Amino acid sequence: MACQQSAPLSPANELRAPRLDTLYDYQLYNKKAQPLSLNHAMAALSNLDVIMVGELHGHQGIHRFQADLFSQLLKQAPSWALAMEQFSRDNQEVVDDYLAGKLGETAFINQSNAWPSYKSDYRALLSLAKAAHSKVIAANAPASIVRCIGRHGPAYLDKLPSVERGWIAKQLTLKNDPYKAQFMANRHHGQVPSEQQFAAQTSWDDTMAESIERFLTRYPQQKVLLTVGRFHIKEGLGTVQRLLARQPNLKVGIIYPLVEGEPTPSSARRDKRVREWTLKVQALPPARINDEPLAPISLGEPDCPYAKSPSN
pLDDT in tens, 248-298: 999 999 999 999 889 888 776 778 889 999 999 999 988 888 877 766 655
Q: Environment class of residue 19 by beta-carbon count within 10 Å: exposed (0-12), middle (13-18) or buried (19+)?
A: exposed
Return the higher-pLDDT residue of 6 and 244.
244
> How many Å apart are CA 143 and CA 149, to the nearest integer?
10
Q: DSSP state, 254?
A: E
Amino acid at residue number 67: A
Averaged pLDDT for residues 148-176 = 97
- Is the confidence at residue 9, as pLDDT, over 50? no
- Is the confidence at residue 12, as pLDDT, over 50? no
In the chain, domain spans: 18-281
> How many Å apart are CA 49 and CA 14, to the nearest integer?
26
Q: DSSP state, 188?
A: B
| Residues 86 and 140 sit within 8 Å (Cβ to Cβ) | yes
Amino acid at residue number 159: K
Q: Is the pTM higher than 0.85?
A: yes
Which pLDDT does position 6 carry in this prediction? 38
Nearest C-alpha neighbor of 47 from the set 275, 208, 261: 275
Q: In whole numbers, what is the pLDDT of the chain averaged over residues?
A: 90
Fold that domain 18-281 belongs to in CATH: Rossmann fold (3.40.50)
Q: Write out pLDDT tens, residues 186-215.
A: 866 567 789 999 999 999 999 999 999 999
Q: Environment class of residue 199 by beta-carbon count within 10 Å: exposed (0-12), middle (13-18) or buried (19+)?
A: buried
| Residues 287 and 263 sit within 8 Å (Cβ to Cβ) | no
Q: Write out pLDDT tens, residues 116-131.
A: 999 999 999 999 999 9
Backbone angles phi, psi at 281, to 5 degrees: -140, 165
